[in-house]
Amino acid sequence: MSCLIIVDVQNDFMEGGSLEVKNASEILKPINRLRDRHNFDMVVLSKDFHPLKHVSFASTHANKKPFDTVKTKSNSPQLLFPDHCVQNTYGSEFNKKLKVLESDTIITKGMNVDVDSYSAFFDNDKLSKTPLDNILKKNSIKNVYVCGLATDFCVSYTCLDAKSLGFNTFFLKDASRGISTESVEAAIKKMKESNINIIETEDLIRSTSKNL
C-alpha cells in the first residue's frame, strides 16, 4: 500500500509569495503527471497553517528580521521567516494549478503559535504530532513518496520522520524544489545516509507502465 505526500504546495511558497521558493512552479507538472499516471492508495497534502504572531514570523519579535534566529519557549532555536501561510489567507491556499481531489487527505501543521512544524508528522520540538502517522498506519500504508516545498526544510523533515516511523520512504527529487543549492545538497546527503530512496517521478510512471 502506497501514499503520495505532497508537502506545502501553497501560494506563499510559490513565485511571488511572501516566502517564495525559486522555480517552485516547476514541480506542478511532474506532480500532476504522476497523479494522472500512477495509482496511489492514498494521497496526502500537508498545509502550513499558521496563526497570527506565530513564533516563526520575524514580525512577532522586536528588532528581528527574516533569517535571524531566536529561542522558543522550549529553548529550541527557531529560524525566523517573513509572515507566511497565515490561516485563511490566499497565501495559505494550495496553488490552483496543483491537482487536488476531494478524496485527498489534508494535514494542517504549524498551528501552535509557540512552535514551528516543518515535518508533516511532528512539530519541530517533537512534543506534538499531527494525525498523519496514525492515518497512514490505519490504512496499512507501507511505502510513502514525498515531494513538494521546500526540499531543504519541510520535505526533507517529512522524509526523515517517515523513515524513523518505519515507512519505506522515497524522495521525489524532480517534484521538489529548495531554498538554496547548498542546503538542498546537505538535505539530500542526510536523506541518503538515512536510507531514504532518491528517485524521479518518471521512475514510478515507468514502473506503472510495465505493470499494465
Catalytic pick from 48, 83, 109, 173?
109
Question: Per residue in 191-211, pLDDT tens?
Answer: 999 999 999 999 999 887 555
Query: E strand or H helix at 107, and its extent?
Result: strand 105-109
Q: Which residue has the cell 512552535?
A: 115
Catalytic pick from 3, 85, 147, 154?
154
Domains of the chain, start order:
2-48+95-210 (3.40.50.850)
Contact criterion met (CB below 8 Å) for 148 and 100: no
pLDDT value of position 210:
56
pLDDT value of position 36:
96
Question: Per residue in 18-64, pLDDT tens?
Answer: 999 999 999 999 999 999 999 999 999 999 999 999 999 999 999 99
Does the annotation count 8 as an active-site position? yes
Alpha-carbon gap, residue 31 to 98, rounded angstroms: 8
Q: Which residue has the cell 546527503?
A: 189
Question: Per residue in 74-117, pLDDT tens?
Answer: 899 999 999 999 999 999 999 999 999 999 999 999 999 999 99
Catalytic pick from 8, 133, 152, 161?
8
Contact criterion met (CB below 8 Å) for 48 and 92: yes
Alpha-carbon gap, residue 39 to 30, rounded angstroms: 14
Q: Please, what is the average pLDDT of the chain? A: 96
pTM of the model: 0.96
Does the annotation count 192 as an active-site position? no
Does the annotation count 109 as an active-site position? yes
